[in-house]
């Protein structure tokens, strides 16, 4: 009988010894778990960001095109005071705000239908449908909109009988296209937020005499506000950094991303490009600071 | 004028969810000021009836009248009934006071008045100190009372309670039962109480409707249901019963049909008991269970039936016997209740339900 007991014990292998060591050394375990992602974060993410910040305070010798690593505020001053940069910053901000507003207005009813009205089966279908555009390439979708919005495109064909016209290429086209591109990123957090609101709260509101609008305003909206803000962070930040869509459907308009692009490429002025790139970063940090108190960051 | 009207009248009320009939032609009248319970196992349709009265569901057929007025097609916010939800459904982003004032707020009552009335309602459930807290900072029993204050502050004609004590532990539940009864008496409004707990229903109600398979099995006062269960299902679901089927009834009672006897109506003794209208049968003790206030004795009768007797744990009690002892089980003829024959389609299910209720 004792023989049987001994045999039923697992054999000691190197793997088992290693596991036993890790079980009793939680710090080693944690270090092994996080070593790779931490290395990636520090090297690729933080170092790149820090370099960007530092480069903004260097300058380029306009004669030789070589970067001088001497501290100067010239780039920052030029970006803050130059009328070109001010105009483009305001334009970019306007586009980002418009895109965010349109996306929230479109996403709210869709998310509400998905979370509170549709059957469970329909709900799954809709989530997949919302995600489907994300499987297609960004460029393909932007060019698809270029074709839709062109002078002999489908939009013109649809609107012409009613006396309407396609907006053509320009800022409205940019706003429409960006709204389309970022809509899934706004729908999904709002949908998730609505999912977390129990149906009984809506019933309780109706039961207590609250009609549809008071129920939405006093119960649903305050509860999903953090989720809405989480969604707007996506659409706002993604719009601020975009420069491809505006190139494809924006006509001659430029956004901050285009200025960065031309300064890196054509003008070969990396320090100035870095200084311009700091503008959206500062705006986003300002936005995040404003919404931090609403608890929206817990919803990301 | 309205006093003569029933608070609620349901006529032919039916609700189908796809192929499932949750509520099947229910006719019911509930008097004004009554504490009425709907009792049944889960899936028996009791909660659906409550949700139909509240207006959260639309019936497939039938009508709902509230004090003589047809409200069948009205939205929940147009009905003078309010609900206390099973999960309380308090608004988590509002303070307790704002929760209670919500019904007044959406009715357009001014801030000063609604705060005053909400405070009074909170005081009536002894939570006047808790107005500024968030619901998440309250205990289960306190949330329950907030839900009650929120539903009653708008002075409904009928209050619907959906298993409101289900989430509370035993002690708190017993305490809340007393409070509920008091609040109902103070407010004088009709309470419709849904529960699967037969003891709770017996304790609180003026009348009880026992639901099974979307139908009312029996309607009556707690004493009616307990003393005179009309069917095998009710005998098994409301309290515990010893069921005598047709053959055993023939052997032990000398007549056919199904019968039921409550455990506390059975006496266990070493000697055969004699007396007017007393019958007895010999058997062997298989289990003796000490319950504190009582003693449960399980006996296998020689006639081939296992019965449970409940003896008081008092000074008069003789030693009830040990396992294997030969005893006599005796009962009064008046305590034997004849049951209506069960519908054959659901007989097996009912037997299961009867067996599982201890």
Tell me which residue in A201, A206, A218 faces B77 most closely, judged by beta carbons. Answer: A206
Structure tokens at B139: 């205990």
For the segment A83-142, what is each residue's pLDDT rounded down to a tens digit?
899 999 999 999 999 999 999 999 999 999 999 999 999 999 999 999 999 988 999 999
* Chain B residues with beta carbon closer than 8 angstroms to that of A219: 91
Mean pLDDT of all residues belonging to chain B: 87
Chain B residues within 8 Å of chain A (Cβ atoms): 54-56, 75-77, 81-83, 85-87, 89-93, 102-103, 105-107, 150-151, 154
d(CA A241, CA A259): 11
The CATH number assigned to the domain with range A84-299 reads 1.10.3720.10
Least confident window among A33-37, B280-284, B291-295:
B291-295
pLDDT for B2: 46
Q: Helix or strand or coil: residue B307?
A: strand
Q: Do the chains contact at A209 and B103, CB–CB below 8 Å?
A: yes
Residues B244 and B260 sit within 8 Å (Cβ to Cβ): yes
Question: What is the C-alpha separation between B46 and B43, in angstroms, rounded?
Answer: 8
Residues of A engaging B, defined by a Cβ cutoff of 8 Å: 198, 200-201, 203-211, 214, 218-219, 222-223
Cβ distance A203 to B75 less than 8 Å, yes or no, reads: no
Q: What is the pTM of this model?
A: 0.80
Instruction: Classify burial at B22, counting beta carbons within 10 Å of its beta carbon; exposed 0-12, middle 13-18, buried 19 or more.
Output: buried
- Domains in chain B, CATH or no CATH each: 8-233 (3.40.50.300), 237-357 (2.40.50.100)
Contacts of A204 in chain B (CB under 8 A): 83, 85, 89-91
Report the alpha-carbon angle A210-A211-A217, nearest 5.
80
* Residues A207 and A272 sit within 8 Å (Cβ to Cβ): no
Residue A259 has pLDDT above 50, yes or no: yes
Question: DSSP E strands: which ranges in B234-320?
Answer: 242-244, 258-261, 267-269, 278-290, 294-301, 305-312
CA distance B88 to chain A (A): 8
Size of interface A-B (CB pairs under 8 A): 64
Q: How far is it, in rounded angstroms, from Cα B243 to Cα B190?
A: 35
Token pair recorded at residue A132: 């489907």
The alpha carbon of A135 is separated from its chain's Cα centroid by a whole number of angstroms, namely 16
Give this complex's ipTM: 0.81
Q: Cα(A260)–Cα(B220) distance, rounded to whole angstroms?
A: 82
Compute CA distances B211 → B42, B120, B164, B230, B236, whole Å: 10, 37, 18, 13, 13
Q: What are phi and psi of B40, to 5 degrees?
A: 175, 165
pLDDT digits (tens, 9 = 90+) for A148-179: 998 888 888 888 888 888 888 999 999 999 99
Helix residue ranges per DSSP H, B228-326: 232-237, 246-253
| C-alpha separations of B135 from A225, B138, B328 in Å | 19, 5, 57
DSSP code of B319? P
Q: What does the domain layout of chain A look like in residue ranges? A: 84-299
Residues in chain A: 300
Q: Is A184 in contact with A167 (CB distance < 8 Å)?
A: no
Which residues from A are below 8 Å from B93, CB to CB? Answer: 222-223
CA atoms within 13 A of residue B106's CA, in its CB half-sphere: 26
pLDDT above 80: residue A61? no
Task: Give the CA angle between residues B258, B264, B267 to the nearest 5°.
Answer: 90
Distance, CA of B30 to CA of B44 (rounded, Å): 19
User: Model confidence over B267-276: pLDDT tens digits?
Assistant: 888 888 888 8
């Amino acid at each position: 009988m004792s023989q049987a007991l001994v045999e039923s014990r697992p054999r000691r292998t190197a793997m088992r010894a290693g596991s036993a060591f890790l079980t009793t050394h939680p710090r080693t375990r944690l270090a092994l778990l996080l070593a790779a992602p931490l290395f990636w974060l520090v090297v690729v993410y933080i170092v790149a960001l820090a370099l960007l910040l530092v480069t903004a305070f260097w300058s380029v010798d306009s004669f030789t095109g070589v970067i001088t690593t001497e501290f100067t505020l010239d780039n920052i001053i030029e970006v803050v005071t130059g009328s070109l940069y001010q105009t483009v910053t305001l334009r970019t901000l306007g586009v980002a705000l418009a895109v965010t507003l349109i996306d929230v207005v479109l996403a709210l009813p869709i998310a509400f239908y998905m979370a509170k009205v549709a059957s469970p089966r329909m709900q799954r279908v809709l989530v997949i449908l919302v995600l489907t555009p994300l499987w297609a390439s960004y460029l393909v979708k932007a060019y698809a909109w270029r074709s839709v919005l062109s002078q002999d495109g489908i939009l013109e064909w649809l609107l012409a009988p009613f006396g309407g016209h396609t907006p053509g290429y320009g800022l409205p086209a940019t706003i429409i296209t960006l709204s389309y591109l970022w809509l899934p990123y706004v729908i999904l957090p709002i949908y998730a937020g609505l999912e977390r609101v129990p149906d009984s709260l809506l019933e309780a509101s109706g039961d207590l005499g609250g009609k549809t609008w008071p129920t939405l305003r006093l119960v649903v909206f305050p509860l999903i506000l953090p989720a809405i803000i989480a969604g707007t962070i996506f659409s706002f930040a993604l719009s601020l950094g975009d420069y491809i869509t505006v190139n494809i459907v924006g006509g001659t308009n430029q956004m901050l991303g285009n200025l960065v692009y031309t300064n890196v490429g054509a003008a070969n002025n990396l320090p100035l490009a870095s200084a311009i790139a700091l503008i959206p970063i500062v705006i986003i940090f300002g936005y995040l600071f404003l919404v931090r108190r609403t608890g929206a960051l817990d919803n990301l | 004028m309205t006093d003569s009207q029933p608070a609620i009248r349901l006529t032919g009320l039916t609700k189908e969810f796809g192929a499932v009939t949750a509520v099947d032609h229910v006719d019911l009248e509930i008097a004004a000021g009554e504490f009425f319970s709907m009792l049944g196992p889960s899936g028996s349709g009791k909660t659906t009836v409550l949700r139909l009265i509240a207006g959260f569901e639309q019936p497939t057929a039938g009508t709902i009248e509230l004090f003589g007025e047809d409200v069948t097609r009205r939205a929940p916010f147009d009905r003078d009934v309010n609900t206390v939800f099973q999960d309380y459904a308090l608004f988590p982003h509002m303070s307790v006071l704002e929760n209670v004032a919500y019904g007044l707020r959406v009715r357009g009552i001014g801030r000063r008045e609604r705060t005053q009335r909400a405070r009074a309602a909170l005081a009536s459930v002894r939570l006047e100190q808790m107005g500024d807290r968030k619901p998440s900072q309250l205990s289960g029993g306190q949330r329950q009372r907030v839900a009650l204050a929120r539903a009653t502050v708008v002075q409904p004609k009928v209050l619907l309670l959906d298993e409101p004590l289900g989430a509370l532990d035993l002690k708190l539940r017993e305490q809340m039962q007393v409070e509920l009864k008091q609040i109902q008496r103070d407010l004088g409004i009709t309470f419709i109480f849904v529960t699967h707990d037969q003891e709770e229903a017996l304790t609180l109600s003026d009348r009880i409707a026992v639901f099974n398979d979307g139908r009312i099995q029996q309607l009556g006062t707690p004493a009616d249901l307990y003393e005179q269960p009309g069917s095998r299902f009710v005998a098994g679901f409301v309290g515990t019963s010893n069921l005598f089927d047709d053959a055993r009834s023939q052997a032990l009672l000398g007549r056919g049909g199904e019968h039921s006897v409550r455990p506390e109506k059975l006496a266990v003794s070493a000697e055969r008991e004699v007396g007017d209208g007393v019958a007895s049968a010999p058997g062997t003790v298989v289990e003796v269970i000490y319950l504190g206030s009582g003693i449960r004795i399980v006996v296998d009768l020689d006639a081939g039936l296992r019965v449970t007797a409940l003896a008081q744990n008092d000074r008069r009690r003789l030693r009830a016997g040990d396992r294997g002892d030969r005893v006599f089980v005796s009962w009064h003829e008046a305590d034997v209740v004849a049951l209506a024959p069960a519908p054959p389609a659901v007989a097996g299910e009912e037997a299961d339900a009867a067996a599982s209720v201890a």
